[in-house]
Chains A and B, each alone.
Chain A
Amino acid sequence: MDIDFGFVLSQAFSPFNLFLALIGVVLGTVIGALPGLSATMAIAVLVPFTFTMDPASGLIMLGAIYTGAIYGGAYAAILVNTPGTPSAIATTFDGFPMAKGGNGDLAMTLASLASVTGGVVGAILLMTLSPMLAQIALAFHSSEYFWLAILGLTLVASLSSGNVLKGLIGGAFGLTLSMIGVAVIGGDTRYTFNTTALLGGIDIVSALIGLYCIPVLIDMVARPDRHLEPAPLGRGFRLFEAIGICAKNGFNLIRSSIIGTLVGILPGAGGSIASLVSYSEARRASRHPERFGKGEPAGLLATESANNATVGGGFIPTLVLGIPGTPPDAVILGALLVQGIRIGPELFTQQSGIVYVFMFGLLIATLLMLPMGLLIGRYAYRFIVNTPKGLLVPLIAFMTVVGSFAIHANPHDVVVMVSMGLLGWLLGLAGYGPSPIVLGLVLGQIAEQGFMRAYMIGGARGDFAGQLLFNRPISWGIVALIVITLAVPIFRHFRANGKAKEVRP
């Protein structure tokens, strides 16, 4: 491979491209922070503008918007308890309790630092190991994707500490919701109750907004107290405090970033579960696992570094194999093709100049995210804290309605959002959290496709069990992780019961 680094650096660091990266990061962060407005939408809207630019500039801007939008998802997760995307689900676990307890400023700074770390690690691995790491995506077949989806659901279930059963039931319910509409294999119409409105199924983002946002709104209007505790004046960004926490959690940050990149390589499932895997690993390795879910900075660092690392990870199969892992990857892939860039292994040999400019641009955009993120995050936190509930409630409610409508310009999605929100509120009373349901909905089609392909191939060979599990060594590893994930809370439960009996006279 012959790379002209002089050309790459002069392109990536040209004032115009740096300006585009800055604009892209700011736009992406703001759009990602608004529930319902996704990275896909931001990129899709701006793609036509990039056609008038030279390929390097256009791609740098698209990459900057993407990485900014993934980071921006943390804002809504921390400040409103609503993840903008499924990859930010785990950010709500510790981010919102931190903000609720008056440490929203620290949470925003930690999210910025973690996102930059994850984004840099992901971009470096993308630049250095892309062709090799792309083989990971090829090693995963339909059976592995099925088990990967089940692993994601068991991870979420185990995070509902002490109540794995409720988590698993919520996950199964999410899988059931994903079956509504036309079957992915077989083509039957399922669970539509003879209405055309349900033929297209339940939109994931509408359900996500409803399940998280509506219960928050219902609780907000009930009490006169503030939505978030204000931070004492004069604390600033709390940057040095955050850097100190990051230094203490250095291993956690790097491990989560690597997990995010590696899991993010897997098309479809990767982006959604990477942050959950990292969060679970951070909790397992922590000396204080009981603090997780109550505002533990280590949990926030794990999830935010992992989900921004998935940006670099997701580009690996997109650029090397032409397999986009997420919808934004698919839009950027389309933009690359329009610019006349041929995707595949030869991209790194015959058109290495342009692809390395793009990768460097992604790295620069990630670094720009730190100052911009600190600045925007600080004002976003102040805005949410200082805005009276009389304005905050209609603002959030309006964004949920407009955001869910904007997905497909379809009023049905708004009805789905409100219905799921009411269901989420009622299920919350019974102790069923929204995360397993949302993840079940996200992973449902991947799980069903994997399961049914194994069923068809195994059925043809007369060896369904072998095709699903026994002949698949990677599946053994994933199933072993599932068993460990389920066994640990049960073990902890019995150990806690044993200790309680010892204390009792």
Chain B
Amino acid sequence: MSQDTDNQTTPAGEKDWAGAVGSVFFLIVGLYTFVTSFGMSDMAAMFPRTIGAVMAALAVLQILASVTGRSGKSLERGSSVAEQAEGLGRRLVLVAVMAGWALLFPIIGMFVTSFIACVILMATGTFARLSPLRLGILLGTVLVMVTFFYFLMTNVLNIPMPRGLLF
């Protein structure tokens, strides 16, 4: 249901190691939820205790299914681990830009961080060599886009954007 569903399924009988690792994560979260619920009041603890126990039990079943090759097909999922190798550098740049953007915009200001982040992402999403003219057009478009949404938020929707050290 996400992308390229046909070639992303786990063939029947093949061990699903990525699924097993993911299930270990959920097992840990389930156990943590269950155990920490004992430090809460009865009213607040009952639901997390139940859900934590259910999640841990289901995760154990999924781990068993994954390592025995009975995990089944998964229609809604992202790219497989092997497919992630393609363009890994660009993927990591995007992750780093998004993380930096989220952390820095309250400090530096929404407009400046957004413009810088958008320019880096523009370069990350561009694969062909750009002529100076085309580069100028793309940079101008990014500037117009950031200005438009900034104006929309501050002046039309009355949402105050963080101005930070710059603006």
Chain A residues with a Cβ under 8 A of chain B: 41, 45, 81, 92-94, 96-97, 100, 159-163, 165-166, 168-169, 172-173, 175-176, 179, 183, 185-188, 190-191, 214-224, 293-294, 388-395, 397-399, 401-402, 405-406, 409, 411, 414-415, 417-418, 421-422, 424-435, 447-448, 451-452, 455-456, 493, 500
B157 touching A175, Cβ below 8 Å: no
- Minimum Cβ distance to chain B for residue A437 (Å): 11
Residue contact A162 to B55, C-beta cutoff 8 Å? no
Known: A41-B157, A433-B74. A394 touches B90 (CB 8 A): no
Q: Decide if B165 is an interface residue (CB 8 Å cutoff).
A: no
- The chain B residues found within 8 Å of chain A, CB to CB, are 1-6, 9-10, 12, 16, 18-19, 21-23, 25-26, 29-30, 33, 36, 40-48, 50-52, 54-55, 58-59, 61-62, 65, 71-81, 84, 86-88, 90-91, 93-95, 97-99, 101-103, 105-106, 110, 114, 117-119, 121-128, 138, 141-142, 145-146, 149, 153, 156-162
A401 and B91: CB pair below 8 A? no
| Residues of chain B lying within 8 A (CB to CB) of residue A431 | 10, 16, 18-19, 22, 71, 74, 77
The smallest C-beta distance from B26 to any residue of chain A, in angstroms, reads 5
Are B91 and A222 within 8 A (Cβ)?
A: yes
**A-side contacts of B54, CB under 8 Å:** 172
Are A430 and B21 also in contact (CB < 8 A) when A169-B58, A172-B55, A393-B122 are? yes
Inside 8 A of A224's CB, which chain B residues have their CB? 127-128
Contacts of A451 in B (CB 8 A): 46-47, 50
Asked if A393 and B47 make an inter-chain contact with CB atoms under 8 angstroms apart, the answer reads: no
Q: How far is the CB of B134 from chain A (nearest CB, A)?
A: 9
Q: A190-B40, A390-B138, A391-B142 are in contact. Are A221 and B125 (CB under 8 A)?
A: yes
| B contacts with A: majority SS | helix
CA distance A87 to B110 in the complex (A): 30
Question: Could you list some 25 contacts between A and B, CB below 8 A?
Answer: A45-B158, A96-B1, A172-B55, A175-B51, A176-B30, A183-B40, A186-B41, A186-B44, A215-B78, A217-B98, A222-B86, A223-B87, A388-B126, A388-B138, A389-B126, A397-B117, A401-B117, A405-B159, A406-B157, A406-B159, A427-B22, A429-B18, A430-B18, A431-B22, A434-B76
From A173, A397, A432, A435, contact of B29 by CB (8 A): A173
Q: Which residue from chain B places its CB closest to the CB of A172 in the assembled complex?
A: B55
A317-B129 Cα distance, complex, nearest whole Å:
58
* A residues near B58, Cβ cutoff 8 Å: 165, 168-169, 172
Residue from the set A161, A388, A393, A394 with the largest chain B CB neighbour count within 10 Å: A394
In the assembly, what is the distance between CA of A103 and CA of B57, in Å?
A: 42
A222-B87 in contact given A425-B78, A430-B19 (Cβ < 8 Å): yes
Residues of B within 8 A of A397 (CB): 94, 97-98, 101, 117-118, 121
Q: Which residues of the other chain, A, contact B161 by a CB distance below 8 angstroms?
A: 405
Most buried by A among B5, B59, B102: B102
Q: Which residues of A contact B103 (CB under 8 A)?
A: 415
Choose from A169, A415, A424, A447 the contact partner of B102 (Cβ within 8 Å): A415
Within 8 Å by CB of B74, from A93, A163, A188, A398, lies A163
Q: Are B84 and A172 in contact (CB under 8 A)?
A: no
Q: Which residues of B contact A172 (CB under 8 A)?
A: 26, 30, 51, 54-55, 58
Q: Are B118 and A163 in contact (CB under 8 A)?
A: no
Nearest residue (CB) in A for B36 is A191
Residues of A within 8 A of B101 (CB): 397, 401, 414, 418
Known A-B contacts A393-B121, A428-B79; A165 and B2 likewise in contact (beta carbons under 8 Å): no
Asked if residues B90 and A221 are in contact (CB atoms below 8 Å), the reply is yes
| Docked CA distance A81–B5 (Å) | 13
A150 CB to closest chain B CB (Å) equals 10
B residues in contact with A176, CB < 8 Å: 29-30, 33, 48, 51-52, 55
Assess the B73–A411 pair: CB atoms within 8 A: no
Which residues in B have their C-beta under 8 angstroms from that of A175?
51
Q: How far is the CA of A165 from the CA of B149 in the complex (A)?
A: 42
Tell whether, in the assembled complex, residue B47 and residue A433 are in contact, meaning their CB atoms are under 8 Å apart: no
Q: Which of A218, A399, A402 is B91 in contact with, Cβ under 8 Å?
A: A218
Q: Judge whether B41 and A163 touch: CB under 8 Å.
A: no
A residues within 8 A CB of B84? 222, 429
Determine the distance from Cα of A426 to Cα of B19 in the docked complex, in whole angstroms. Answer: 11
Q: Are A163 and B73 in contact (CB under 8 A)?
A: yes
In angstroms, Cα B9 to Cα A172, docked, is 22
8 Å CB contact of A219 from B12, B73, B79:
B79
Q: Point out the residues of chain A lying under 8 angstroms from B43, CB to CB.
A: 183, 185-186, 188, 452, 456
